[in-house]
Amino acid sequence: MTVKFIQYWDVLSEREDEFSKFVKKSYIPGINETGYLRIVGSWHVAAGEGPYSIMEGVADSVKNVHNLLQLEDFKKLSHLLHFLITNYKSKLLVPTGPVEGIVPADKNYRFNHHYDVNYDKYDDYMAFIINEHIPTMEELGVKMIGGWYVAIGPGPNMVVEGACPSIKTIMDAIGSERYRRLVANLLSMVNGFGSKILVDTGLLS
Amino acid sequence: MPVKLIQYWNIQHCTQSDFDAYFTGEYVPRINESGFMKIVGSWHVASGEGPYFITEGVSRSVSEVESLIMASFYIELRQRLLRLVYDYQTKLLVPIESLKPDVPDIEYGYKFNQHFNINPADFYTFLDFEDKVHLPEMKRFGVTIAGGWNVAVGATPYVIDETRADKLEVIGEMLQNPAYQKLTLKLLQLVSNYGCKILVPSGHINS
């Protein structure tokens, strides 16, 4: 079962160059070499709330993430990272279905929704996601690449990820009447709704 | 200088049609008729944090907003609104002195708003950066500067830079432009609690 370990931060003032060098040369390779977690994305929040930087890692299991967190090498990397950043937080995401977690191979932009599901409407919510949300988003050009529950970390508790090859597709989607109706329906089943548009930082390339 | 009263809420799903009728048929016209404030736009948050529905009212002064919110007809209007919506919040925005706001009679286009707190130690550097770098550079990406506002009453972050674009595409092109990303990183050196929102017309007032 694929899980995600997501880290969020803001880079400290005047430390951007040092930060980029450290992340590219030490932090990402160091984590990848452990074999427990693979860093697959590094993002800026182009629209939405901060922190502004997001690092996306995938692991084969929750156990692998726990193994990583206990490694001395990771603790050292994490310690060094904290000299360069602020507002750090992390989340462990586990799949909820019905969308299978996918990591797009090509350059992409992300359009993610987050919210808390009203649990007395959970069955309606799942039916809505399968029958309306996923098909509509995909017809609007945004491929749904994951539905996740925040197992550990700050809420909201649900993250639904979309990806597409151009930001124009996201703009066309959010400006459309279909998207507006879709969100209006979604809002009848969830609380604390918000969304983020993520743009690749280029740190992985 | 104009001031803005921004109201935020989520619509109770089962009352959507009642809300639409009440909002366009009574709430907005009666506030506008009062002469204390004009509601110039209503928006959906297309990207960013909720609440999802935003209305934008413009008054000539803070005292006119005070007159409105103390008026019995407004209290009654708001009570009725609160039966149809939840997560209701308000903010009173006053313009940043150095920037004359662009407030049309009725809003148009799309909004891209950045909000943040200025780091106290960087206050004067921020003012210089905002005036000489941030806002001029934003204009180069094709958006117009609609205003710079301080939250006089309501939840922080207390600075809102408001921009407008005729097309969502302009905002999209800006967001993916590496020069915009660099500009935002520079801004982030001077501010905290940064976030931004893309607003699209809700269709009730402006379209």
Domain count, chain B: 2
Q: Which of B95, B121, B149 is the last residue of a domain?
A: B95
Measured between alpha carbons, how far is A111 from B47 in angstroms, rounded to an integer?
A: 9
Residues A115, A73 within the same domain? no
> Do the beta carbons of residue A135 and residue A68 sit within 8 Å?
no
The whole-number pLDDT of residue A76 equals 97
> Do the beta carbons of residue A109 and residue A167 sit within 8 Å?
yes
Q: Does residue B20 sit within a domain?
A: yes
Residues B123, B175 within the same domain? yes
* Inter-chain Cβ pairs, chain A and chain B, closer than 8 A: 104
**What share of chain A has pLDDT > 70, as a percent?**
100
Alpha helices by DSSP H, listed for A82-144, are 122-128, 134-139
Alpha helices by DSSP H, listed for chain A, are 16-22, 28-34, 62-70, 72-81, 122-128, 134-139, 167-174, 177-186
Q: Does residue B176 sit within a domain?
A: yes
Closest chain B residue to the Cα of A165, Cα to Cα: B176
Q: Tell me whether the omega of the peptide bond preceding residue B104 falls within 30 degrees of 0, making it cis.
A: no
Q: Which of B95, B121, B152 is the last residue of a domain?
A: B95
Record the pTM.
0.93
The whole-number pLDDT of residue A93 equals 95
Q: Which of A42, A74, A94 is the last residue of a domain?
A: A94
**What share of chain B has pLDDT > 70, as a percent?**
100
Q: Which of B66, B95, B124 is the last residue of a domain?
A: B95
Amino acid (1-letter code) at residue A139: E
A154 CB-side CA count, 13 A? 8
Chain B neighbours among A 105-164 (CB < 8 Å)? 109, 111
Q: Does residue B16 sit within a domain?
A: yes
What is the tens place of the pLDDT at every residue in A52-108?
999 999 999 999 999 999 999 999 999 999 999 999 999 999 999 787 778 888 889
Q: Which of A48, A74, A94 is the last residue of a domain?
A: A94
Residues B88, B119 within the same domain? no
Residues B87, B121 within the same domain? no
Which domain covers residue A107, as residue numbers?
Answer: 95-200
For chain B, list residues whose CB is within 8 angstroms of any CB belonging to chain A.
10-11, 13-14, 16, 44-50, 52, 110, 112, 122, 168-169, 171-173, 175-176, 181, 184-185, 188-190, 192-198, 200, 203
Residues A122, A72 within the same domain? no
The model's confidence at residue A29, banded by pLDDT at 50, 70 and 90, is very high
**What share of chain A has pLDDT > 90, as a percent?**
90
What is the tens place of the pLDDT at every residue in A137-175?
999 999 999 999 999 999 899 999 999 999 999 999 999
Mean pLDDT (chain A) is 95
> What residues in A contact B171, CB-CB < 8 Å?
171
Residues A67, A134 within the same domain? no
Residues A148, A191 within the same domain? yes
Domain count, chain A: 2
The whole-number pLDDT of residue B205 equals 95
CATH value at residue B172:
3.30.70.100
ipTM of the complex: 0.88
Q: Does the beta-carbon distance from A44 to B181 stay under 8 Å?
A: yes
> For every one of its 207 residues, what pLDDT tens digit does chain B have, with 9 covering 90 and above?
899 999 999 998 778 899 999 999 999 999 999 999 999 999 999 999 989 999 999 999 999 999 999 999 999 999 999 999 999 999 999 999 888 899 999 999 999 999 999 999 999 999 999 999 999 999 999 999 999 999 999 998 999 999 999 999 999 999 999 999 999 999 999 999 999 999 999 999 988
Which domain covers residue B123, as residue numbers?
Answer: 110-199
Which of A87, A186, A195 has the highest number of chain B CBs within 10 A, making it the mutation to test binding with B?
A: A195
Position A14 pLDDT exceeds 90 = no
The model's confidence at residue A205, banded by pLDDT at 50, 70 and 90, is confident
> Do the beta carbons of residue A56 and residue A31 sit within 8 Å?
no
The whole-number pLDDT of residue A35 equals 97
Mean pLDDT of A30-43: 97
> What residues in A contact B49, CB-CB < 8 Å?
48-49, 194
Residues B57, B89 within the same domain? yes
Q: Does residue B191 sit within a domain?
A: yes
Q: Does residue B101 sit within a domain?
A: no
Q: Does residue B207 sit within a domain?
A: no
Q: Is A35 on the interface with B (CB under 8 A)?
A: no
The whole-number pLDDT of residue A155 equals 86
